[in-house]
Structure formats: C-alpha cells, structure tokens
A and B are shown apart, each in its own frame.
Chain A
Amino acid sequence: MAAAAAAGGGGERSSTRERLLAALEDLELLARELIEILAISRNQKLPQPGEESQATAVYQAKEKLKSIEKARKGAISSEEIIKYAHRISASNAVCAPLTWVPGDPRRPYPTDLEMRSGLLGQMNNPSTNGVNGHLPGDALAAGRLPDVLAPQYPWQSSDMSMNMLPPNHSNDFMLEPPGHNKENEDDVEVMSTDSSSSSSDSD
C-alpha cells in the first residue's frame, strides 16, 4: 500500500515536479520578454544616431524646395536673355570698344549729346536750331562729326514694347513714401574730396 502509495505518490510528485518545471520555464520566458519591453521603452527616450541624420535630411530637403521655388519664380526665357545681352553689348554700353583710347567721346553712360537727342531733351528744347551749338544732324551733314557721334536714339530701340507702362504712382511726390529713406550712413564710405587720380589698372 505504502509502496503503491509511494509509487503513486512518486508519480504524482513527478507530475507535480514536471508541472512546476514547466511553470518555471514559462515564468522565465515571460520575465525575459518583460525585461526586453522595459529596455525598449527606456531606450526610446534617448535620440538614436539615425534620427539625427533624418532631421538633417529633412532640413536640407526643405531648403532645396525653397531654392527650387525661388528659381521657378525668377525663370527667364533664354531668348530674352540673348536679346538683352545683344542690346547692352552691341552698343558698347557695358564693355568698351576694343579701339577705345583716351579722347574717344564714347562712354558707358548716355553722353550730353545723347541726352539732348532723346525725348527728354526734345521736350525741354523744342526749337534747338543751333542756338547753343550745332544740331547733331547738322554737324553730321556738314561732315564734321564722325559716325559714332551721329544722333542715336537709344531709347527708341526697335524691339521696345510700345505697350509698356510705368507703375501707378501718386502725382504728389511730397508725400512721405512708406518705408523711410535710407539713412544708413555707416554703410556709405566717405569719398575723398582730394583729387586722387586713380588711373591704375583695375586688375
């Protein structure tokens, strides 16, 4: 009886033992998983090295988008650029002619003659028949002026749009415009009033 009981008890003990062992294993597994979860949740509070590079990439992408937008706004057709390049180069407005020497009357700005020949000059002097000197056309006709000083009307280039209008403005310029005058005197270098000949090479 006892042996049977012992045997039976042993069988019960082994099954109990087995059950206990199984339970222990489960417990160990669960504990391990719990520890992993806790470790993950704790690590998420600290920035990962990967996240920093993501933030940089996002910033750079945004900057690139801004510059794309800016470029798109300032888009100009190549034809217009070529047209404009021709206008300012063919007339030697931005680059001196290769044959220029001191004494040549040509300048990188409208000369007195050109200013008087234009619309402004004509409006102010409706009858300039040689009062203050020769009319450019007269002098040219007399053969006294070289071609370069022939009356040129730079304002009347052939491709100028006659439909172009200036922006609207109040006729009264006495009104203070919005945004004050620039009085940033610190930014402006005081020009020396001493006569300083600066005919050195600009290179």
Chain B
Amino acid sequence: MDADDTGNRLRFQLELEFVQCLANPNYLNFLAQRGYFKDKAFVNYLKYLLYWKEPEYAKYLKYPQCLHMLELLQYEHFRKELVNAQCAKFIDEQQILHWQHYSRKRMRLQQALAEQQQQNTSVK
C-alpha cells in the first residue's frame, strides 16, 4: 500500500509538472514536430489531464494558463496548427502581451495618480 501511495504521489507531481509545461507554446511546438499529437494514446492522455480543471487539483497550479492550453489541445485542428513555428510564436506573443496587461494598467494608474498629485500641489 505504501509503495502504491508513493508511486501515486510521484505520479501526481509528474503530472503537475507536465500539465504546466503545456503553458509553454515552444514546448507545444516541440511536441507537435515530434509527432506526439498524432499518437492516439497521447491524445487520450491529454483528455485524461483535464482533471486538473477541478478546484481540488487546480489550486496546485502555479501557471493556470496551462489549463486554457489544455482545453485548446483537445481540438485536432489546434494540435495540427502547432507544427508551425509561426503559430507557436504568435501564441507566445499574445501570451506575453496578456501577461503584461495588468502591470501596464497598474503603471497607468500610478502615472495618473502622480499627475493628479502634481496638479494638486501646483494649485496649492
């Protein structure tokens, strides 16, 4: 029983790592070019990994964007497109832009606040 538990815990950690690796579009391109997405067993495994969407598992994810990638990977069309490096590059760019969205918004808010404070002090 202990050996089973240890094995299962190890599998948990490995699957946790692997599912988050799917957030990396370059890694997806790597997998696509090596034909993993054409392997039926691998596609079934991707479907199995959808359990990470459940709250009791999702709370361990540091990179939650991987879940969106996992959902897209359920579509054959998406898997086929990932063979193209330009497709992966496009996804990468969009991900980075989205990632920067909140920090940009915060910077704009800080700038607006600083300008407002400047105006207030100049009025006084």
Contact = CB atoms under 8 A, between A and B. Distances in A.
A95 B104 CA distance: 10
A199 B93 contact: yes
Contacts, number: 162
Contacts of B17: 115, 118-120, 155
Interface in B48-100: 48, 51, 55, 57, 59-60, 62-66, 72, 74-78, 81, 84, 86-87, 89-90, 93-100
B62 A157 contact: yes
Nearest to B93: A198
A110 B24 contact: yes
B62 A162 contact: no
A167 B19 CA distance: 14
B111 interface: no
A184 to B, nearest CB: 7
Nearest to B41: A173
A63 B1 CA distance: 46
Contacts of A188: 72, 75, 77-78
B66 A182 contact: no
Interface string A75-100: 01000100110011001011111101
Contacts of B45: 173
Given A107-B96, A119-B13, A181-B47, A173 B59 contact: no
A87 to B, nearest CB: 6
7 contacts: A94-B99, A94-B102, A110-B63, A115-B21, A164-B12, A173-B40, A177-B44
A120 B47 contact: no
A39 interface: no
Given A80-B59, A198-B93, A108 B12 contact: no
Given A109-B95, A120-B18, A165 B8 contact: yes
